[in-house]
Amino acid sequence: MIAVGDSLPAVTLSEYNIVEGTCALGPNDITVAEEVANKTIVLFAVPGAFTPTCSSQHAPGFVQLTDEFKAAGVDEIWCLSVNDAYVMGAWGKELGAAGKIRMIADGDAVFTKATGLELDLFGKGLGLRSARYSMLVKNGVVKKLNLETSGGFKVSDAATILAQVRARVDA
């Protein structure tokens, strides 16, 4: 499993942005190594778009605190899920995430598997998903990882990682 001090996997993901009044194009490839270079990223992952906790608590917290993250030196906020880019784009539109959070699709779970942060939800109709977590990444290196256990939602929320960013726990 990925740990503090490890580099993010060199994989390609995708995103599809739906912007009102424009013709949406995509999905567009996201080469993780290129996209995180020389940036401070807060990445949070959810088991699934449009699912109850993800939609009512996890993602909205990051949307609401976007300005605070930016003021604390975060360049981008990423939401990652093992969903396709179209679903992530639609979910981002519903959340009002445009210009705030990049809705990143890990449709084949390549990032999730490479980090060892998969969640086995077979038998529940959901298959292989991402575990719920948040991480602080600087120049592609994990500086903080908040992994939920036992299906909880206690440590990966926006307020927790924002406090960590502000405290510069990675120093």
Task: Answer yes or no: is 16 within a domain.
Answer: yes
| Burial classification of residue 26, based on how many CB atoms lie within 10 Å of its CB (0-12 exposed, 13-18 middle, 19 or more buried) | middle
Mark the ranges of the chain whose per-residue pLDDT is less than 50.
170-171
Task: Answer yes or no: is 1 within a domain.
Answer: no
Task: Answer yes or no: is 111 within a domain.
Answer: yes
pTM, two decimal places: 0.93
Rounded-to-integer distance, Cα 75 and Cα 69, Å? 8
- Catalytic residue numbers? 54
| CATH number of the domain to which 127 belongs | 3.40.30.10
At 147, is the secondary structure helix, strand, or coil? strand
Task: Answer yes or no: is 133 within a domain.
Answer: yes
Q: What are phi and psi of 34, to 5 degrees?
A: -70, -40
pLDDT digits (tens, 9 = 90+) for 38-69: 999 999 999 999 988 888 889 999 999 999 99
Token pair in block for residue 148: 């939920």
Domain that includes residue 86, residue range? 6-167
Number of domains in the chain: 1
Q: Could you tell me the sign of the dihedral formed by the alpha carbons of 32, 34, 35, 37, in that order? A: positive
User: Do 115 and 131 form a contact (C-beta atoms < 8 A)?
Assistant: no
